[in-house]
Copies of this chain bind each other. A is one copy, B any other.
Amino acid sequence: MGRVYNFSAGPAVLPEEVLIRARDEMLDWRASGMSVMEMSHRGKEFISIARKAEADLRELMAIPANYKILFLQGGATAQFAAVPMNLLRGRRKADYVNTGHWSKRAIAEAKKYCEVHIAASSEDRNFSYVPPQERWELSSDAAYVHITSNETIGGVEYHWIPDTGDVPLVADASSHILSRPIDVSRFGLIYAGAQKNIGPAGLAIVIVREDLIGGALPITPAIFDYKVQAENESMLNTPPTFALYMAGLVFEWLKEKGGLAAMERINLEKARLLYDLLDSSDFYASPVAKADRSRMNVPFTLKDPALEEEFLRQAKAHGLVQLKGHRSVGGMRASIYNAMPIEGVRALVEFMRDFAAKHG
């Protein structure tokens, strides 16, 4: 089979140009005689790769100088623990907004380290929307406010940045980081697992305001301590060197494509194509409130769930794969991250139109 259109929610499609470059450099990176995988992380070759990746990410996201960028291991799930371990700073409570599966995972982990106050929840309507800020009940003594700014499974995305005043806003942006420009200065901390919009699994990125680090709980493992990692340029121990190299190639690719403003234009168009089909058809439906629909993860249902297996089978035969929804919600889901070309979305829309015509 040739390359397919892969709608996996993560690990997910990578830009083909990036994979080709990684392939071509696999045995010998720039006449070093070594694969990037074989390089000492303390050697000048790899240090140059890591520093360029950081500089390119800082440029792409316009990250202010008073924010540290950390490249860590353990995925966003490690950050579910690391965030309270580092950011409580003597307080005992944190506010969380519950918008679905990944919010709940973050909340469950935070409860090991502090009192969690649910400031708002969309559970009343099956996590199909983002609770508007006027309904949030923030604590006066919270160490931080945590949101999941894009719910990968539910397909719900914040298209606005909450105002939490002097209380630092923390966002798990795993599944929409780099999909659009954002004002980083409005956040105390942004974290993301790499395996959706950044690069391969095994890397997580933490962007944290400097004044928030340095007060980790005594029980914090060294690799989770933001201050220790910042002082060591994320190399307290051996970092996931190849994953970081791949992320760096993706950052270069994004810059060549025109940066995040250009990506946002394409992502808007891709999302429009797919949601327009869902809204114009009574064969398909989107479970998510229109204003809060994710541009990255598009869950949808078929009017007749008995057709799901056939839908997946025929889609695969058309080279459209990984469209099955998460086992916790069922239905279908198309993840259309930066690396999914618009041609892939067009092919999906065309297939879906034909399928509906045949089976509607």
A214 within 8 A of B: no
Contact A9 B40 (CB under 8 A): yes
Q: Mark A36-78, 1 if CB is under 8 A from B, else 0.
A: 0111110100000000000000000000000000000111111
Question: A271 — which chain B residues lie within 8 A by C-beta?
Answer: none
Q: Mark A194-223, 1 if CB is under 8 A from B, else 0.
A: 010001111100000000000000111111
Question: A41 — which chain B residues lie within 8 A by C-beta?
Answer: 11, 201
Task: Tell me the complex Cα distance, A283–B35, Å.
Answer: 33
A27 within 8 A of B: yes
Contact A1 B33 (CB under 8 A): yes
Known: A14-B38, A40-B11. A221 touches B218 (CB 8 A): no
In the assembled complex, how far is the CB of residue A229 from the closest CB belonging to chain B, in whole angstroms?
Answer: 11
Contact B223 A74 (CB under 8 A): yes
Task: Tell me the complex Cα distance, A13–B33, Å.
Answer: 11
Contact B6 A19 (CB under 8 A): no
Mostly helix, strand, loop or mixed at chain A's interface? loop
Contact B78 A33 (CB under 8 A): no
In the assembled complex, how far is the CB of residue A207 from the closest CB belonging to chain B, in whole angstroms?
Answer: 20
In the assembled complex, how far is the CB of residue A318 from the closest CB belonging to chain B, in whole angstroms?
Answer: 12
Given contact pairs A73-B240, A74-B223, enumerate 4 new A-B contacts (beta carbons under 8 Å). Answer: A19-B27, A73-B78, A75-B238, A201-B242
- Report which A residues bind B (CB closer than 8 A): 1-4, 6, 8-14, 16, 19-20, 22-23, 26-28, 31-35, 37-41, 43, 73-78, 80-82, 109, 112-113, 193, 195, 199-203, 218-224, 236-243, 246, 319, 321-322
Known: A202-B243, A242-B200, A321-B33. A223 touches B27 (CB 8 A): no
Contact B31 A1 (CB under 8 A): yes
Contact B11 A19 (CB under 8 A): no
Sample of 30 A–B contacts (CB below 8 Å): A1-B31, A1-B32, A2-B33, A3-B27, A3-B28, A3-B34, A4-B33, A6-B33, A11-B41, A19-B35, A22-B26, A23-B23, A34-B321, A37-B199, A37-B246, A40-B322, A43-B322, A73-B78, A74-B223, A77-B223, A78-B223, A80-B222, A112-B220, A200-B242, A201-B239, A201-B242, A221-B221, A221-B224, A240-B243, A242-B243
Q: Find the residue from A28, A37, A75, A193 having the highest chain B CB count within 10 A.
A: A37
